[in-house]
Chain A
């Protein structure tokens, strides 16, 4: 305990140090000499080959010494040439920059006002700001004799483009997915919610990566305290790099020592937009197509956006199916172990006979048999994710043969165990949120041990423990198990069940004060 506290203090100290170092006030301002500036930039960047420095003279008597700097690959080359270099080199060649009209202005102002045809122009005065802009794709213009330069937005790098999401597929519904570019992603959300109250706050996190992180919410719907909380938690992050939204998730989530996820992630703009409409906050991170949604509830991980794109009765049944498969994936192996080693009297006689016949000659106890098969399956699954695509078929052949026929024929496992493992495997794939199925994967093994030592009592004990733990969890102040615990009758319409859309007139009460969705009078179809 003491040590942890000490660590925390040390980290706090470091935070304050680094923050001062990286604010632009403390960084070195530009020198007046352009050459000196360029030399220093090149020195700092270690002569990196992707920095392009184009120097030239402009004005009638070449009175102005200008340098254009941009990062090759990050900046849009045509844009830089057509709208920045060309006007500077050609259009003002015949302008007398020393004429009376310009005397009272700095050369930079002249350029800004007359020559640069770009929407986003920011003045920069020191090296750190320069690096920040140029290394994220902007083009900088520095002028000899001036201690200020400008950064012009010219971002345009090779991009994957908007593709169909691969992790959360639907049959009916929008097929666009987030990309690795933050701007594209915010645009995808903005395209779904064209409301002035959709506010996007952006900040950079990561002392080295300077990753853009946006929090997006619907002002007036979201609980203002929640926004403050999210801001506060994000500002507490002090780390050198953010490469994926999981980095953020791990640093701001409530229960680190819980197997259950308390932050929802999605690759789908429609899911995120729906969350924002309900009063949640989306956290979109540059460089990853996975956006976060907070707060997240247990039931949320069993909901797919397609529930709302199909008939509501189907939605209800599919959700029930998901809960069923959650328990199947969690408990099938442990229930099999418990019943076959402790409670044989529970089975119908013919089933018992058939199971007993299969177990004849199996050298291991049921627990070892189950763990063996589950481990094999987990290894296969991991191999299937990690291996190069070209050897994919090899894995499936080996998997089908090893897991299936051969293991049984060799007398290592029984047929029933193969069925149990298969049911478990298939059920765990039903979960629409992959991180929930990982939780199930982890919990399955403790449950198997409990079942092997205490039988069904052990399973029930484990379940009680699990439910207690779930009820103790919170996600950004919201009880994780709501609307079941605490029971909120009003929110049952869109928890385990899914009511028809015309009945979903209020937002979840725990998320938003302003809870009506303004469907008055009710648009319920006339029954007559």
Chain B
């Protein structure tokens, strides 16, 4: 036993001294990247990486330096561009904490599939970042805007996206796995939410931007962009985006405005607290019919007219108009998708699951067949609660 240990000890010592912590990287030797921007350039890709300046972010006595820095390079492949960053960045850029990847609109229009290989292959990338499109601008410009409140623009973007999805509905957060599945899957097309740059990008990259009460340049979450294969083909409007999310059962909460029954211009706002969408399919005469059954529950959130909602009849009317509104939005979104010839709803996948035999035939020319898909809507809305006041006091005010 003792001899064994005596022989083992030098080997163990070698293990410690020869390996010499080769993969270790001290925290002050890495630059933490929070956002990656990918644009098209002549040679291939134009890469922008938003890197943190940690001391500035947690400091109680901020200096005039910015909290983030953006480094940019070009490369024929994405990986080459990433490695070329080292000529500009002072430290090795560390990508495990990337929160979002932004595609420039031009880039998205020319196809994004090739870029995704590196993003999912590289071991340093965690695949939980959100992917967005810089609407009407380049990723480079979007990543140079400084934001108030949240010192890290990327995390501002991500939290805005998540909040908007949770409370407002016309956006949809997409992570890498979902994007790849929809890009390569049969009978479904990809969507990505757009992010708008409002204001002058030149002012946006200046500290002056965050020193004002109302920042001149801001980042704003926009609507959903529709892909055909891996190319961006168009944008949905806010209503259409909402309709898309109703159909996809993505809505967690939103606000629906319906006109008052007393014919005034004012309206009633309903806060949706739960929705459940179920898609079923049928095939008649080689024409597929999709039925979307939606169960929705809502609260009365805002009554700006004299309607007395304690009267069940009036409430019923409100419920009906909400149903119509929801249905209307879904119709609009299906129409828009048909115009863009992109099956973003995954009707094809649904048919494949329910009627694999017919799908095999239909798959050949799904683009045309998609145009003929009939969609039926069964919306059922209930409003069980009226909020903390029952009768609108506007009725009293007029007397």
Contacts and interface: CB of A to CB of B under 8 A. Distances in A.
A452 B32 CA distance: 21
A355 interface: yes
Interface residues of A, number: 25
Contacts of A355: 27
Contacts of A449: 16
Interface string A352-363: 111111111110
Contacts of B99: 349
A341 interface: yes
B24 interface: yes
A448 B89 CA distance: 31
Contacts of A356: 27-28, 30, 32, 52, 54
Given A344-B30, A359-B27, A455-B24, A354 B58 contact: yes
B28 A452 contact: no
Contact of A353 (B20, B23, B58): B58
Contacts, number: 75
B32 A362 contact: no
Contacts of B20: 453
B54 A354 contact: yes
Interface in B25-42: 25-28, 30, 32, 34
A387 interface: no
Nearest to B154: A349
Contacts of A453: 16, 19-21
B7 interface: no
B52 A353 contact: yes
A241 to B, nearest CB: 30
Contact of A344 (B52, B55, B94): B94
Contacts of A359: 26-28
Nearest to B15: A453
A345 B96 contact: yes
A340 interface: yes
Nearest to B152: A353
A360 B32 contact: no
B57 A357 contact: yes
A341 B26 contact: yes
B97 A352 contact: yes
Nearest to B96: A345
A449 B24 CA distance: 13
A353 B16 contact: no
A173 interface: no
Contacts of A365: 24, 26
A360 B28 contact: yes
Contacts of A345: 96-97, 124, 126
Which residue, of B30, B96, B99, has the highest number of chain A Cβ atoms within 10 A? B96
Interface string A110-142: 000000000000000000000000000000000
Contacts of A452: 21, 24
A4 to B, nearest CB: 9
Give the most central of B55, B94, B124: most A CB within 10 Å.
Answer: B55
Contacts of A344: 25, 27, 30, 94, 96-97
A476 interface: no
B59 interface: yes
Contacts of A361: 28
Contact of A349 (B21, B27, B34): B34
A74 interface: no
Contact of A357 (B34, B55, B126): B55
A342 interface: yes
Nearest to B94: A344
Contact of A342 (B24, B28, B55): B24
B54 A349 contact: no
Interface in A311-350: 340-342, 344-345, 349
19 contacts: A341-B27, A344-B25, A344-B30, A349-B32, A349-B34, A349-B155, A352-B27, A352-B32, A353-B54, A356-B52, A357-B57, A360-B28, A361-B28, A365-B24, A366-B26, A449-B16, A453-B16, A454-B19, A455-B24
Interface of A: 1, 340-342, 344-345, 349, 352-362, 365-366, 449, 452-455
Interface of B: 2-3, 16, 19-21, 23-28, 30, 32, 34, 52, 54-59, 94, 96-97, 99, 124, 126, 152, 155
